[in-house]
Amino acid sequence: MVILKQESDSIQVLTETMNITYLPFDIQDYDEAAQFWRVTPFIGLSSADTREAIDKFLRRNPGCSFVARVEQRLVGTILMGHDGRRGYMYHLAVAESYRGMGIAAELVSRGLIALRAEGIEKCHLFVYSDNLNAQSFYAHEGWQIRNDLEIMSINL
């Protein structure tokens, strides 16, 4: 894994280019989103992704996570939250046939704006080391790889 961050003052909002609707992620979106994540490469799923866990995450971080829809079809997701200190981003994904339209950038922008409104000044994300496509996207969007950090985890 590689950790990237973005300073909140470099947020950019892109113009919507087609009939894409961006909505706060509601737990009603869960089944569709979970199916989407299951078939999307590089979206790591765990016990933190059950309906109950996502419901808890959304309640702890209201208005920070979003879905993108085109004519009712879910085509993009982002989960964003914070611990009162730093923001964290998970499960950014856009359906393959809708990539390159600015959807991911818009989802990230909306999430970062929501974090900033909560007084959060920096956001981190986790990206698999072999997910070069996403790393390239994040770098293009201004995120920086942290070469001074490694991730360490423990199961509770």
> Is the CB of 61 or the CB of 109 nearer to ligand COA?
109
Q: Which of 3, 16, 37, 40 binds ligand COA (CB under 6 A)?
A: 40
Cα–Cα distance between 98 and 70 in angstroms, integer?
9
> Is the CB of 87 or the CB of 119 nearer to ligand COA?
87
Cα–Cα distance between 143 and 2 in angstroms, integer?
11
Please spell the DSSP secondary structure of 46-88, one letter per residue.
Answer: -GGGSHHHHHHHHHHSTTS-EEEEETTEEEEEEEEEE-SS-EE
- Asked if 67 is part of the footprint of ligand COA (rule: CB under 6 A), the reply reads no
Q: Which of 114, 120, 127, 143 binds ligand COA (CB under 6 A)?
A: 127
For residue 71, give every residue at least 6 positions away whose Cβ sits within 8 Å of its Cβ, in sequence order, or none: 19
Q: Which of 2, 33, 74, 104 binds ligand COA (CB under 6 A)?
A: 104
- Asked if 133 is part of the footprint of ligand COA (rule: CB under 6 A), the reply reads yes
> Is the CB of 129 or the CB of 156 nearer to ligand COA?
129
Q: Which of 64, 103, 112, 114 binds ligand COA (CB under 6 A)?
A: 103
- Asked if 64 is part of the footprint of ligand COA (rule: CB under 6 A), the reply reads no
Please spell the DSSP secondary structure of 17-48, one letter per residue.
Answer: -SSEEEEE--GGGHHHHHHHHHTSTT----GG
Residues in contact with ligand COA by the rule CB under 6 A = 40, 42-43, 92-94, 99-105, 127, 131, 133-134, 136-137, 140
